[in-house]
Amino acid sequence: MTLRIGLVGAQFIGNLYLHSMRKVQGGEVVAVASPNSAEEFAGRWGIERHYKDYRSMIEDCELDAVAIAAPNDLHYDVCLAAADAGKHVLCEKPLALSLEEADTIIAACKRAGVVLMYGENLLFAPMYVRLRELARRGKVGDPFLVKQAQCHGGPYSTWFWDVERAGGGALMDLGCHSIHAICWTLGMWPEAVSATLGQFAHGAKTDAEDHAEVTLHFPGGLIGMAEASWAMPGGLDYLEVYGTQGRLTANLERGPAIAMYAAAGEEATGPAHREPAWQYPMYEEAWQFGFEQELQHFVDVCAGREELQSTGEDGRRVLEIIFAAYESARLGRRVELPFWSTAEKAIDLWRETIGE
């Protein structure tokens, strides 16, 4: 039986989902909802039904599940609408803007008896999966430090600059990935957080931080270091494990990739149009970053074939750590976990310090 999925959102992640769904067995996107681009998106991907409003899609279509690839401020409402209609939910990071919203989403999906999967593609990236396996087999001895970096020159859509919609800056956007990947690699959650945030490159565009350094303090003295940045042109995406007998590194930006040397000239692309340079184009980005595997896992979980690996509770824990990191940056000291805040957005804990 095919899992009939309704997609909410028709931009970057929506396109990645549709590209990835070509390789997924047992699932199909049968409808898409987006206020401005649903019709064009549906035509490009061969989706029969399209809607401007996700509520109409959920009410009109025979759906089994809803995949949410919409801006952060819509996650809460779409999750609740899907759960109330008895649909399984795949929600992109972050799960919600506030801890209270996250708790309400989790409770609603439990009452409805539907799957709530927190969308973290890095948990399914083949290189990261292999690194985690090697670390847990003791190939580098006992791990004592795990680093993960999610960095680039700025977000792909303008709504990210609006803290009312995004809930934060680079930490909220990219730190979700880093924090979850580190905790997943170690198989535990931290007991405290220390963080430093700053505005360095994009202060004219946003009230949010564009660079964040977060230290995760784990039981037994283990350390996690998460770097999230919109102020790093060229980008970084790596996971490293330091152990007592060695080190593991997985670099998603460089491998598996094709090595290409491009000379300067009008026909060259990327930085090579200015000067000769080595470039490393990926040959299957969606697979390398785990999107195909993530979607296949969601389909298999909804069909009862697999146990959920990335739960709503996981997403809530990641959000809690992010809230604690903003609080740490405000106070200039370590913040213990668990941490609770009634703030509507994580960045509200830190934003008042900007410009001081």
Q: Are residues 40 and 149 in the same domain?
A: no
271 pLDDT above the threshold of 60: no
Across the chain, mean pLDDT equals 94
CATH code of residue 53:
3.40.50.720
**Average pLDDT of span 245-274:** 70
Query: Residues 167, 257: one domain?
Result: yes
Q: Is residue 297 part of a domain?
A: no
Q: Kindly state whether residues 106 and 177 are assigned to the same domain.
A: no
Predicted pLDDT at 83 = 98
124 contacts 308 by C-beta, under 8 angstroms = no
Which helix (H) or strand (E) segment holds residue 15: the answer is: helix 12-21
Crossing angle for the helix pair 12-21 and 38-45, to the nearest 10 degrees: 20
Residue type, 276: P
Spatial CB neighbours of 174, under 8 Å, sequence gap ≥ 6: 150, 151, 152, 228, 229, 230
In a domain, 306, yes or no: no
Its pTM stands at: 0.93
What pLDDT, in 10s, does the model give residues 14-65? Answer: 999 999 999 999 999 999 999 999 999 999 999 999 999 999 999 999 999 9
Domain boundary among 76, 92, 121: 121
Same domain, yes or no: 94 and 143:
no
Residue 209 pLDDT > 90: yes
What's residue 279's pLDDT? 75
The larger pLDDT score, comparing residue 353 to residue 217, is at 217
Same domain, 264 and 249: yes
**Rounded mean pLDDT, 136-162:** 96
In contact, 198 and 209? CB cutoff 8 Å: yes
Domain edge (last residue) among 121, 144, 164: 121
User: What integer is the mean pLDDT of 3-10?
Assistant: 98
**Cβ(312)–Cβ(103) below 8 Å:** no
Using one digit for the tens of pLDDT, what is the confidence trace for 225-257?
999 999 999 889 999 999 999 999 999 987 776
Identify whether 41 is part of a domain.
Answer: yes
For residue 191, which amino acid is it? E
In a domain? residue 303: no
The answer on pLDDT for 265 being more than 60 is: no
Residue 213 shares a structural domain with residue 345:
yes
Over 80: is that where the pLDDT of 207 sits?
yes
Q: How far apart are CA 66 and CA 57, in angstroms?
A: 10
Same domain, 235 and 127: yes
Q: Is residue 298 part of a domain?
A: no
Total count of domains within the chain: 2
pLDDT band at 276 (very low <50, low <70, confident <90, very high): confident
The Cα angle at residue 124 between residues 54 and 280, in degrees rounded to 5: 100
User: Can you list the positions of beta strands (E) in the chain?
Assistant: 3-8, 27-33, 49-51, 65-68, 88-92, 116-119, 143-151, 192-198, 211-217, 223-229, 236-243, 246-251, 260-262, 277-279, 335-336
* Structural domain for 230, as ranges: 123-290+315-353
How confident is the model at residue 242, as a pLDDT? 97
Same domain, 116 and 131: no
The average pLDDT across 101-126 equals: 98
Asked if residue 270 belongs to a domain, the reply is yes
Q: Is residue 2 over pLDDT 50? A: yes
The reply to whether 170 and 67 lie within a common domain is no
pLDDT band at 354 (very low <50, low <70, confident <90, very high): low
| Residues 56 and 71 reside in one and the same domain | yes
The verdict on 114 and 200 lying in the same domain is no
**What is the average per-residue pLDDT within 151-169?**
96
Last residue of a domain, one of 121, 142, 158: 121
Domain co-membership, 260 together with 218: yes
